[in-house]
Amino acid sequence: MQQLSTQPVASQQAKLDLKASSPWLDAWRSLRKNKLAMTGICIIIIFILIGLLAPVLATHDYRVPVLADRLLPPSSQHWLGTDDLGRDNLTRIMYGARVSLTVGFFSVILSLIVGSTLGVIAGYYGKWIDGIISRFFDILFAFPSILLAIAIVAALGPSLQNALFAIAIVNIPTFGRLVRSKVLSLKQEEFIVAAKAQGMKDRRILFIHLIPNSLAPIIVQGTMGIASAIIEAAALGFLGLGVQPPEAEWGKMISDSRQYFVNAPWTVVFPGLSIMITVLGFNLFGDGLRDVLDPKMKN
């Protein structure tokens, strides 16, 4: 009797376990076991909070020069010192985080949407459509990404919006080729063939089957792409093609202070460390996602 009474309980528990399990939930559980990936997540969250809370945390005005305080070393009043115009470095790094993360996130989102759309169309329809889109990708890949971004910003004019737009353009073929190759392999699968045999429309096949099954590599590439976008934004800022004064941006801060590196190294070191740590966080997180979401990387 006792054995019979425990069977419904065991069956109910098994059903609960099945409900609590899904591919994305399993991926999150695996990701939590990856210490490096979780370290990357913590770094990303910290810098996002720093950027969002910059107006609250900042103790100085990041725009107004104070020439009497120029090139002061780190102290209790200015934790990371001041720049050549007497502005607090910590405050400017906080506001610089907003710019770098904004460019990183939105440029990747834009390039992901455009590149993935073109990749899906090229991979699914093939023939001359694939030929035209693939040649477009080849043209963009023919130029070094940073040189193409410099050319675009130089043509449009230096500004944050144009820098974001340029970085998005140079990353379009990366997402496009990735999605195209994934769609080419997926459309040969039996469930796609069965969907076509049942008369399912192309739009439903794309949005119900192909795109959802291509999300894993897109997410991984998007995470790694944010790190690359932050570096490219810093490079454009260093060349004076990104954010314009008096706005704060890490690459621009390094460019403005490079001549003071010997006498005031804190003006260059701290913005450089901010770039390095942020990029490291996204790379660690991206590596963890790749290990979890890529079946080839699983043991």
For residue 116, what are its two tokens?
């993935």
- R_g (Cα) of the chain, nearest Å: 24
Q: Is residue 65 part of a domain?
A: yes
Q: Is residue 8 part of a domain?
A: no
Domains contained in the chain, number: 1
pLDDT at position 1: 43
- pLDDT per position as a tens digit, 39-75: 999 999 999 999 999 999 988 999 999 999 999 999 9
Report whether 254 contacts 271 (CB < 8 A): yes
For the segment 224-236, the average pLDDT, to the nearest whole number, is 94
Q: Is residue 106 part of a domain?
A: yes
Alpha helices in 62-159 (DSSP H): 89-125, 127-141, 145-156
Where is pLDDT greater, at 185 or 165?
165
Q: Is residue 88 part of a domain?
A: yes
Q: Is residue 117 part of a domain?
A: yes
Residue 232: pLDDT band (50, 70, 90) is very high
CA distance 88 to 86: 7
Which structural domain, as residue segments, surrounds residue 263?
A: 46-297
Q: Is residue 236 part of a domain?
A: yes
**Residue-wise burial string across 147-173, b where 16 or more C-beta atoms lie within 10 A, e elsewhere:** ebbbebbeeeebebebbbbbbbbbbbb
Q: Is residue 177 part of a domain?
A: yes
Q: Is residue 24 part of a domain?
A: no
For the segment 68-89, the average pLDDT, to the nearest whole number, is 92
Domain CATH number, residue 213: 1.10.3720.10
